[in-house]
Structure 1
């Protein structure tokens, strides 16, 4: 189904009051947070491809109130309320987990209940086991409730399930757009199933059908009630299926199917087998640290959960719940982080983004020829044209990152065929970089918002208040971010190497020359001598945004900094106002706009730190890299299942001794999940050259909390290696246990 026409969009806008249009524009344009809802820090998250569930630790989705919990599919919250009551009271949560990623398990118990004329059912005598599994193939949730009487007396009581379905678009849920555009039908009961129907402004009818086995004893407007009479030790089960559908409004559209009975265990085994098969393709990791092993396992399983597909091509969705979509920057960075463990998804991501590369100039979408996509949404508001996110290009860094990933992928795989295949998108991307915001010939890639619904800031720190001056005011566009110039520098060198591989030496020489000229200008214009680091950005008229931020760490990763300036930058970023004990903050606590819970104004992001650690290693500051590695691992120890969130609050470690949750952080989140695998790659010094059938191991280092790391099946080109790293006082000893294929492994200091 295609988005509505331009005329239909104009009619829709005309129906909105000027105030509503202004409010919508303000919310989308100036978002300071990923969402304007209550905290979801303790949420239980399950996902299977594009279907995902966010619930409170007691398995509930509040029927009322503004929150982010719900059952989502294709950028729509189909189910926004789902509560259980026993005799009118909520159950007590004992334990909850989503360890497997696609399934959740909850153990609940009863509070003191007075049922059947006042008879007391003492607290904890009723056990309730609630299993939920997502079936992406059938777009449904399969659940089993098992209720058991652990008491010595028979117990009779009612159990009710209450539902609410608002079919809110993800932008509605996040509080960025005020209300839905479509129309909900009244909920109805038919054949023992509860039906919710929504007619969207995008001419799509969305439905949620909830079936029960056995049928409820009583059916209310949006609630199912069951009557239980359990003998001592007796147990009973209820099977629940929640089926979601998106249907054309055309009369001949496919009808909703009935809910079949199912075997939960058999289905769970099928999904588990798929996950294990995907994990089996990875480089195998083991160490003598149980904590590091657990974090690595969690990271890889989270990435298995975050897999999504589009046009039969797989990519990593950015994060649950707000960013379950293709994001240029995020999907590219996590593919970069994972090259040593699973390079295949990088090729699929590159092909997918090449297919959506900008072809024309469209101010509404900020599309320009050669530009790589920022975000692709498939929900009602995007399809109806109310927001530009059906294909949104409001990013300045995805294009150079696209080129950089292609070069790094080739270094790991020796595959020049992908470069040949994507030759046209590569040259269009280079053409966009040559023109991007550089109206005065300085040679910097800059941004300035041109869409009425665009992002004020277009780097990875894309909240409206992220790029600030020393006095706290907002920097003026056009803005040239420090890290983006580094991405361009590294991208040009990477693509130059590929041109040389196919015999086009003149193109290689030209790109390398452009990169080196950029390096010279960069070190002159971005360096702030009094700060001992590079500026966050250059704003209008080339004025430095001279605050201390984490962004220069990305520039160090790319190698654009002069060696002396790079080392001074590392030392500055590791001072106490930046390094809070769990990692490096996004903005120094000494800066005027520092806020420990500001989305990009003082929080600590795992992926940001992983790239910074790589920058430390590049400039010989191994101690700083290991300090960051240790801090991130110790932070992960305090999160459920050792899962690193999108971001942590920036409070000093000594204040609370545990990392403080960022209230609406995504978890799982892709580039956070890729952070520790990338830190392992970085600190072990893995530098592939698949074209030469060679793996260089440069200055391998292990942090103090681990003495042995083993990698099995590490692939370089068509070959692979099994390696063991043992920590020593002066570095690490490398034991080459096995190689297959033509591969030489060189270890250097």
Structure 2
């Protein structure tokens, strides 16, 4: 099975197969959750073989294609130099490799129905569209403007190098297609350039100029990023992996009016996410504090102000996911934004405090404090409410809502040892840790901004939660913590990575820490590449499942930070070095969203999980967090003093 290859800048990206060819149903050019082109195919009358795909830098890719071998030689070579910024820009060079004059025809096939990304992912709808196309001297523009909702989209394809004839256009109401052709007569050894600009706003006057500008923009963006970030020093085995992390994070950087943040990942999550963006920003703090500040400010601006059951919104809550496609505009999905996460609010407080401690920026702390306080109030009044723990209701939620609202948010993310699904209210272990950490950090911020009474309230609340957590979640027989506790007080004693996050948050008593660390590194949990999400001894274990035995790099990095917090750098090093070895063994120095949980001694490379996002922000940032743990620096340095 061919895997995805993407050229991406923020929420704009081109998806192809690994050879750079559009060969799968979900391939195409996307911008802000809409597939603007589902057909973008370059061809000659003869087949073209993929020879080489070079990811030059974030937002830039070079494809080398060749016609089939004829008596040991190729007739044509095609180079496709692609740039993604606010659109897709490409310079195509066709070369005659022979010593004879030759004639051929270059064809660019285009098409769209302006699919919402949720439709591409398989969400069944009965959406009817009327897609139109208009041609010009230099290309074609597709447009969609429904009468019944404020949602108009357009994409223009401008080509320098076509004939004066209009492109051939076909429409059937639901979609529109176009074919642009360029007859080529090439002398021996001659090459011809063709420039293409795909713009999701308005057509450009010159595709040649637009490609040149995109080339400059991509390279200047990388230059600014490299100047603004410095990779931490470490031994040679880590350096290429850390460099790849820095590149991937630039690809996923979204620049907003509130500052930069990391989108979750491509192809399916190229947007702001609460949990994902917060954790990735935290992991990447040694690389950049600018993104952490932007993430906090963006999420503060989107913080819920009212109760809205359809979107799982409550005052003070931090969003889970925001989308910009047609299904969102029509309110067929709740992502405008959607608040169905029980942990992002606590993580928001954690990141705001950690960023302040990293930077010593008192103005930032003062600006964020009202939003931090609202988040803490949500934790008290809605997260915990009249109960003992931060819980979510497995049976509630509107259409499009998530059943599980902690990080293992698949339908089977949390199971009893016999495979049964829990029901009713559920308190996930790591969520209690996040809440505890948020309260402790919130107390320090409250003291700093001059609210000592609020600080004492938060300290008492944190201490009470820590005591209740240890009493309710501890598994004496396992010397470990339950993954969750039901509303009826029943433990779910499955052995998972979730308690590793509790080490990171500091909710685990010192006397328990070593046993938790050692259990995470036992053979049924640690593969050699990383820690499995679920014990291999569990009845539901499946190494190629989403949350039931796979390895998630971000999950491992939080476990490693937790191990180092309790002075177990030895364990943190095993985890960190395992992930780095996994990235190197894959051949691209990159960690995907997740990979299969097979033992390292059974596989020479980590086995792919087919639906994994790559690049993915909290996977890309995982080596940075692991390095912090390995170096014995799991928490921020002391406040800077003038």
- TM band (smaller chain): over 0.9
For the pair 1:379 / 2:307, whether they are aligned, the reply is: no
CA gap of 1:381–1:77, structure 2 versus 1, over 3 A, is same
Q: Which residue of 2 aligns with 1:231?
A: 187
Equivalent residue in structure 1 for 2:33, among 46, 57, 75: 75
TM-superposition CA deviations, 1:225-251 (whole Å, max 9, x none): 222332321111111121213xxxxxx
For the pair 1:52 / 2:17, whether they are aligned, the reply is: no
SS at match of 2:89: strand
Please report how far the alpha carbon of residue 534 of structure 1 lies from its aligned counterpart in structure 2 after TM superposition.
0.8
Q: Which residue of 2 aligns with 1:125?
A: 75
User: Is residue 50–residue 308 contact of structure 1 (8 Å, CA) maintained in 2?
Assistant: yes
User: Is residue 242–residue 623 contact of structure 2 (8 Å, CA) maintained in 1?
Assistant: yes
Write out aligned runs for 1:471-550 (5 A). Answer: 471-550=418-497
Q: Which residue of 1 aligns with 2:268?
A: 322
Normalised TM-score (structure 2)? 0.93
TM-superposition CA deviations, 1:149-199 (whole Å, max 9, x none): 2223333333322222121101011112435443223x4533241332223
CA gap of 1:683–1:349, structure 2 versus 1, over 3 A, is same
Please report how far the alpha carbon of residue 673 of structure 1 lies from its aligned counterpart in structure 2 after TM superposition.
1.1
User: Is residue 14–residue 88 contact of structure 2 (8 Å, CA) maintained in 1?
Assistant: no
Equivalent residue in structure 1 for 2:152, among 199, 205, 210: 205
Please report how far the alpha carbon of residue 393 of structure 1 lies from its aligned counterpart in structure 2 after TM superposition.
0.3
Equivalent residue in structure 1 for 2:104, among 128, 148, 157: 157
For the pair 1:100 / 2:46, whether they are aligned, the reply is: no
Q: Which residue of 2 aligns with 1:635?
A: 582
User: Is residue 162–residue 181 contact of structure 2 (8 Å, CA) maintained in 1?
Assistant: no
Please report how far the alpha carbon of residue 310 of structure 1 lies from its aligned counterpart in structure 2 after TM superposition.
2.8
CA gap of 1:288–1:428, structure 2 versus 1, over 3 A, is closer
Please say which of residues 507-516 and 664-673 is displaced more in the overlay: 507-516
Q: Which residue of 2 aligns with 1:251?
A: none
> Which sections of structure 1, spanning at least 5 residues, go unmatched?
1-38, 113-119, 246-254, 694-741, 743-749
Normalised TM-score (structure 1)? 0.80
For the pair 1:660 / 2:607, whether they are aligned, the reply is: yes
Please report how far the alpha carbon of residue 612 of structure 1 lies from its aligned counterpart in structure 2 after TM superposition.
0.4
TM-superposition CA deviations, 1:287-337 (whole Å, max 9, x none): 440x42111111112111111133342211111111111111111111111
Please report how far the alpha carbon of residue 471 of structure 1 lies from its aligned counterpart in structure 2 after TM superposition.
1.3
User: Is residue 306–residue 314 contact of structure 2 (8 Å, CA) maintained in 1?
Assistant: yes
SS at match of 2:279: helix
User: Is residue 577–residue 590 contact of structure 1 (8 Å, CA) maintained in 2?
Assistant: yes
Please report how far the alpha carbon of residue 40 of structure 1 lies from its aligned counterpart in structure 2 after TM superposition.
6.4
Question: For 2:602 and 2:621, how far apart are their aligned partners in 1?
Answer: 28
CA gap of 1:588–1:216, structure 2 versus 1, over 3 A, is farther
Please say which of residues 141-150 and 546-555 is displaced more in the overlay: 141-150
Please report how far the alpha carbon of residue 424 of structure 1 lies from its aligned counterpart in structure 2 after TM superposition.
2.3
Question: For 1:355 and 1:683, how far apart are their aligned partners in 2?
Answer: 35
SS at match of 1:278: helix
User: Is residue 364–residue 453 contact of structure 1 (8 Å, CA) maintained in 2?
Assistant: no
Question: For 1:301 and 1:349, how far apart are their aligned partners in 2?
Answer: 19
Write out aligned runs for 1:596-745 (5 A). Answer: 596-639=543-586, 641-686=588-633, 687-691=635-639, 693=641
Equivalent residue in structure 1 for 2:310, among 357, 364, 371: 364
Q: Which residue of 2 aligns with 1:464?
A: 411
CA gap of 1:267–1:450, structure 2 versus 1, over 3 A, is closer
User: Is residue 292–residue 355 contact of structure 2 (8 Å, CA) maintained in 1?
Assistant: yes
Q: Which residue of 2 aligns with 1:270?
A: 217
Please report how far the alpha carbon of residue 469 of structure 1 lies from its aligned counterpart in structure 2 after TM superposition.
1.1
Question: For 2:587 and 2:107, how far apart are their aligned partners in 1?
Answer: 30
TM-superposition CA deviations, 1:652-673 (whole Å, max 9, x none): 2222211111112111111111
CA gap of 1:86–1:260, structure 2 versus 1, over 3 A, is closer
CA gap of 1:88–1:194, structure 2 versus 1, over 3 A, is farther
CA gap of 1:244–1:566, structure 2 versus 1, over 3 A, is same
Write out aligned runs for 1:333-482 (5 A). Answer: 333-438=279-384, 441-448=387-394, 449-482=396-429
SS at match of 2:196: strand
Please report how far the alpha carbon of residue 439 of structure 1 lies from its aligned counterpart in structure 2 after TM superposition.
5.7
Please report how far the alpha carbon of residue 284 of structure 1 lies from its aligned counterpart in structure 2 after TM superposition.
3.9
Please say which of residues 529-538 and 395-404 is displaced more in the overlay: 529-538
User: Is residue 469–residue 475 contact of structure 1 (8 Å, CA) maintained in 2?
Assistant: yes
Please say which of residues 172-181 and 641-650 is displaced more in the overlay: 172-181
Q: Which residue of 2 aligns with 1:28?
A: none
Question: For 2:327 and 2:106, how far apart are their aligned partners in 1?
Answer: 37
CA gap of 1:217–1:644, structure 2 versus 1, over 3 A, is farther
Q: Which residue of 2 aligns with 1:220?
A: 168
CA gap of 1:501–1:583, structure 2 versus 1, over 3 A, is same
> How many residues are aligned here?
630
User: Is residue 109–residue 123 contact of structure 1 (8 Å, CA) maintained in 2?
Assistant: no
CA gap of 1:209–1:673, structure 2 versus 1, over 3 A, is same
Question: For 1:226 and 1:46, how far apart are their aligned partners in 2?
Answer: 25
CA gap of 1:121–1:85, structure 2 versus 1, over 3 A, is farther
Cα RMSD for the two superposed structures? 2.2
CA gap of 1:531–1:217, structure 2 versus 1, over 3 A, is farther
Question: For 1:160 and 1:407, how far apart are their aligned partners in 2?
Answer: 55
Q: Which residue of 2 aligns with 1:195?
A: 141
Question: For 2:574 and 2:523, how far apart are their aligned partners in 1?
Answer: 13
Please report how far the alpha carbon of residue 269 of structure 1 lies from its aligned counterpart in structure 2 after TM superposition.
2.9
Question: For 1:603 and 1:180, how far apart are their aligned partners in 2?
Answer: 36
Please report how far the alpha carbon of residue 632 of structure 1 lies from its aligned counterpart in structure 2 after TM superposition.
0.4
